[in-house]
Amino acid sequence: MWKFIHSFSKFTNQTRYSVLNNSCIFQYKNFQYPKVHLKRAYTNLAKKPAPKVHFTFSTCTRIGIAITTGGILHVTLLNSKALCKAKNTRMSTYRVSSDNQQKFDWRQLWHYLKPYIWYLVAAIAGALAVAILNIQIPQIMGGVINVIARYTENKNSETFIHEMRAPALKLIAMYVCQSLCTFFYIYMLSNLGEKMSFQMKTDLFSAILKQDIAFFDEQRTGEIINRLTSDIQDFKSSFKQTVSGGLRAGAQIVGCSISLVMISPYMTFITLLCIPTVIAVGTVFGALLRGISRKAQAQLEKTTAVADEAVSNIRTVRAFAMEDQEQELFDTEAELAMVLNESLGFGIGWFQAGTNMFLNGMVLVTLYMGGYLLSTEQLTPGELMAYLMASQTIQRSLGQLSLLFGSVVRGLAAGSRVFEYINLQPSVSLKGGQTISELDLKGNIEFNNVTFAYPSRQEQSILKNFSLRIPSGKTLAIVGASGNGKSTVVALIERFYDVDSGTITIDGYDIRSLDPSWLRKRVLGLISQEPILFGTSVLENIRYGRPSATNEEVKEAAMLANAHDFISSFPQGYDTMVGERGATLSGGQKQRIAIARALLKNPTVLLLDEATSALDTESEKIVQHALERAKEGRTVIVIAHRLSTIQNADIIVVLHKGVIVEMGTHEELTEKRGHYWSLTYQQQEVPAA
Ligand SMILES: Nc1ncnc2c1ncn2[C@@H]1O[C@H](COP(=O)(O)OP(=O)(O)OP(=O)(O)O)[C@@H](O)[C@H]1O
């Protein structure tokens, strides 16, 4: 990847590129570089210190720059040359990176560790105490062995007990202290791990919540949830295991190594000669296994995404009898994850087996050397025993370290994936900006020469030089065939996306200068075709519109939305649980609750995106009646297909391929016999027939 970036940095002027469906093909002279997958990076480049620009490019419609930050190539496309010159222009930024290249950011780990550093310090102190005790234990044990060795020749049990008492009591005291210190440092580490992962989890969730809608267009829910759950869990358990096991093993290795030197420097020197080999093998294996682990986790993410989609869309799956296909898809993804995990296990298994072989060989060498030194009286039996004990402890600790190895690999991969999301910056921030005073807020909306393409499909402009004025208090209906950009108009007013060029204003204020959170909370009320309710009570669902609303205000909103009667007919009234996404309610009931929820905000502008099109004629009448009441005193934008919903609008706009082709009242447009007439003709004919 790095090479790829640098090769471009040299070929600045002769590089050509084309972007299609999220892929980018770069060409230098006659050589075409491999297709690169473009991933949107949610970075507001204007806010950051200028990154290094590697090359710029231009075609007749687009210009762009390629920059690198943090080892990642960002390809930035701008829609027009004029835009590029404008200060603080929002850029459509793509990040070119391979999923497996994400590196673990140690500075970010430090950021999470710093507030709780004292827990780590306490844990290290506890572990060091264990190590100091460990230095002494083999030697005291050696003393005990020497006493035993003496009394195997001179059998006098009374003096034996007397001589044994002191070292035995010392040993017991050491063991008790060692246990207490072990408890202490493990407890400290556990607290540290929990606190850090809690902070990471909340940061990650907050980072996800503030991402642009474009982010959710591209990422699958299962993948996002996987980072919040299993990646954080993997990181936490790996961190706790690694630090606690690593500290214990490390402390024991250090402590016992000192013991070894004190007992026999000669034997210790021979043993140490083997260590570099272990480190070299460990490094090579480490890099290999880390790669496999990252792949395995990415695959697991995909598997979860498939399961998530199937379960959350279970009604569609059932209706199309697609259970077998979903199962097959899941099995394929799960099998791939299994194969990768098996490879990982295979690698870790070999690594541990090799480590064990090595360590067992070391015991034999020790016995051989120790026996020789004993025979030449350079070592006492107690010293040999103490040496063996200390080297066995080191062996166990090295074994534990090799076991930890797999966990470190998993933890680093999981951590880097968590950090990746935490670091994403949305281009439309959630909060910040000005608000309009209640007196000035009227609800006049204006689109001025707006051009827009969805970030995930930059090549397809949905709105082209789109201009429209919606006076305050009026109802505007947008009609047009499917896919012509009607919902896009609403999405842009909600600022789910920012326009590529032109402006959208509310009472003369560019919506990009307004606080998005205030705009959505106070000014806009959106009711869409498929109302999504939360799995709580009816009351809580309506109150979602304004959490500070009293029960009385909730009821008033429900009455206005024609929902009070059916809610009251439920045995538990407003406390009725609606089930996941409102599964226990009918479409019309859900829609009326959604209307009540939107009305509770008392929005100045009401956006109705096919609010009644999913309902049957009977429910539509009831919901329509509720909407007519809701429209009073507000600016309303209605997107609808049904003539009954649109004909009373003050202005009707016909949209065709992102351009306004007709505008007027129902009567004017019907008389014209143009696009509007053709769109509504069929509906008029049916009752006549
Ligand atoms: N999130 C998205 N990412 C990329 N393209 C999108 C996205 N949403 C919509 N589009 C595309 O934008 C175009 C306009 O879509 P839009 O939803 O605005 O149409 P519409 O007129 O409201 O259609 P309908 O009447 O069927 O709801 C379509 O071609 C659609 O495929």
Are the C-beta atoms of residues 612 and 627 closer than 8 Å to each other?
A: yes
Report pTM. Answer: 0.68
Cα-to-centroid distance, 450 and ligand 1 (Å): 16
ipTM of the complex: 0.96
Are the C-beta atoms of residues 200 and 232 closer than 8 Å to each other?
A: yes
The protein residue whose alpha carbon is closest to atom 17 in ligand 1 is 487
Q: In ligand 1, which atom is closest to the CA atom of 489?
A: 18
Strand partners, 135: none
Three-state SS for 290?
A: helix
Cα-to-centroid distance, 607 and ligand 1 (Å): 16
Cα-to-centroid distance, 486 and ligand 1 (Å): 8
Helix (H), strand (E) at residue 662:
strand 659-664
Taking the C-alpha atoms of residue 620 and residue 562, their distance in angstroms, rounded to an integer, is 12
Alpha-helix runs per DSSP H in 227-322: 232-263, 265-272, 275-312, 314-319
Are the C-beta atoms of residues 459 and 20 closer than 8 Å to each other?
A: yes
Sheet holding 605-609, edge to edge: 524-528, 605-609, 635-639, 475-479, 651-656, 659-664
Taking the C-alpha atoms of residue 251 and residue 575, their distance in angstroms, rounded to an integer, is 58
Terminal C-alpha separation, the chain: 66
Residue type, 290: R
Cα-to-centroid distance, 487 and ligand 1 (Å): 7
Taking the C-alpha atoms of residue 409 and residue 296, their distance in angstroms, rounded to an integer, is 11
The rounded average pLDDT for each run of 10 residues, N- to C-terminus, in the chain (689 residues) is: 34 42 45 40 38 45 48 47 35 38 78 92 87 78 79 69 82 90 89 91 90 83 84 88 82 81 83 72 77 82 81 74 82 89 86 77 80 83 81 77 77 87 82 85 91 83 90 90 88 90 91 90 85 85 88 89 88 87 83 87 88 70 76 86 81 89 88 82 51
Is any atom of ligand 1 closer than 6 Å to the C-beta of 561? no
Q: How far is CA 102 from the centre of its chain?
A: 14
Is any atom of ligand 1 closer than 6 Å to the C-beta of 485? yes
Residue type, 414: A
The protein residue whose alpha carbon is closest to atom 9 in ligand 1 is 488
Taking the C-alpha atoms of residue 552 and residue 595, their distance in angstroms, rounded to an integer, is 16
Taking the C-alpha atoms of residue 45 and residue 51, their distance in angstroms, rounded to an integer, is 8
675: exposed, middle or buried (Cβ count in 10 Å: 0-12, 13-18, 19+): middle
Is any atom of ligand 1 closer than 6 Å to the C-beta of 217? yes
Residue 77 tokens read as: 């496309």
Three-state SS for 232?
A: helix
Is any atom of ligand 1 closer than 6 Å to the C-beta of 487? yes
Q: What angle do CA 343, 275, 268 make, to 5 degrees?
A: 145
* Burial letters 40-63, b for 16+ CB under 10 A, else e: bbbbebeeeeeeeebbebeeeebb
Residue 317 tokens read as: 């799956």
Residue 562 tokens read as: 């024609």
Long-range contacts of 79-88 (CB under 8 A, 24+ apart): 79/451, 79/453, 79/500, 79/501, 80/501, 82/501, 83/500, 83/501, 87/46, 88/46
Place of tokens 């309009």: 436
Dmax (CA) of the chain: 125
Alpha-helix runs per DSSP H in 22-154: 81-85, 106-113, 117-153
The protein residue whose alpha carbon is closest to atom 25 in ligand 1 is 482
Are the C-beta atoms of residues 561 and 595 closer than 8 Å to each other?
A: yes
Residue 198 tokens read as: 């809690």
Cα-to-centroid distance, 611 and ligand 1 (Å): 16
Distances (CA, A) of 513 to 78, 376, 435, 499, 522: 21, 89, 9, 13, 15
Is any atom of ligand 1 closer than 6 Å to the C-beta of 456? yes
Three-state SS for 502?
A: strand
Are the C-beta atoms of residues 449 and 329 closer than 8 Å to each other?
A: no
Taking the C-alpha atoms of residue 267 and residue 372, their distance in angstroms, rounded to an integer, is 11
Cα-to-centroid distance, 226 and ligand 1 (Å): 28
